[in-house]
Amino acid sequence: MTKEKEPKMNFRTINVANLPVLRGKNTPPRIAVASNGQIVLNGKAGEMFGTAKYAKILFADDQRIMAFKPVEKVVKGEEKATLEVKTSKKDKRIYFNGAGLFHEIAKDGVEMYDYRASGSQSFDVINLGANGIGFTLPAGKLNPRPFTPRKRKSTVIAEAAAAGATPAYSAPEPQFQ
C-alpha cells in the first residue's frame, strides 16, 4: 500500500454575521409589515409587548419611530387613540391592520411608507421602556424581497401523473398466491 499525499488546503474564515436570521426559538424580536399593510409582532416581540388587548400607537416624526404602547383597557375619551390587537394562541404573535396607520401618518406631511411596493418586510424591535416597543419606519419604498409563488398541490400531482410517475398515495398491488 502506498501512502497518498494529502492535498494542501487553504481554509478561510466564514463571517457568520451575514447568515440569515434563525427561525424558531432563537429568533430575535422583529416587527413585520406585510404587503397588505398588516403589522405582525413575532413571538419574542409579543412577549415584550405583554398580554394587553389594546395598543396606543405613537409616532416620533423626527426619528420616524412607530411605537406600540400596551394598554390593558380603553379609557373613556381615548377610544379613537386606542387600537385593538389580536394574539395568536399558538405562538403569541400579535397582529393588527396597519394600512390606515401609514395613511394617517402621511396626513401630517410625513413621507408615507409604501408597504404595497415594498412587499413584506421585517424590522428590528426597539425597546422604548414606558412607551412600549417600536421600530424605525422607513420613508418611501424598499426593494421587495424575492418571492417565488408555490405551485398549487393539485397542479403538482397532475404534472407527476402526466409524466408517468406513480403518486405517493397509491395503494400497493394485491398479491395473489
pLDDT tops 80 at residue 152: no
Instruction: For residue range 31-42, list pLDDT tens digits in order.
Output: 999 999 999 998
Q: Reduced to 3 states, what is the DSSP secondary structure of residue 67? A: strand
CA–CA dist 87, 9 (Å, integer)? 52
> Residue 102: inside a domain, yes or no?
yes
Q: What is the pLDDT of residue 10?
A: 66
In a domain, 160, yes or no: no
Cα–Cα distance measured from residue 81 to residue 69, given in angstroms and rounded to the nearest whole number: 11
Phi-psi region of 106 (alpha: psi -120 to 50; beta: other; left: phi over 0): alpha
Q: What is the mean pLDDT of residues 78-93?
A: 85
Cα separation, 36 vs 48, whole angstroms? 24
Residue 170 has pLDDT above 60, yes or no: no
**What's the pLDDT tens digit per position in 95-148?**
998 888 888 888 878 888 888 988 889 999 999 888 889 999 888 888 877 777
In a domain, 79, yes or no: yes
Residue identified by cell 411596493 is: 117
Q: What is the domain extent for residue 47?
A: 27-136
Structural domains in the chain (count): 1
20: in domain? no
pLDDT in tens, 43-59: 888 888 888 899 988 88
3-class SS of residue 82: strand
**CB neighbourhood size of 43 (10 A):** 18
pLDDT of residue 40: 93
Residue 10 lies in a domain: no
Counting beta carbons within 10 angstroms of the beta carbon of residue 65, is it exposed (0 to 12), middle (13 to 18) or buried (19 or more)?
middle
Q: Which tens digit of pLDDT belongs to each residue from 16-25?
A: 666 665 555 6
Whose grid coordinates read 494542501?
8
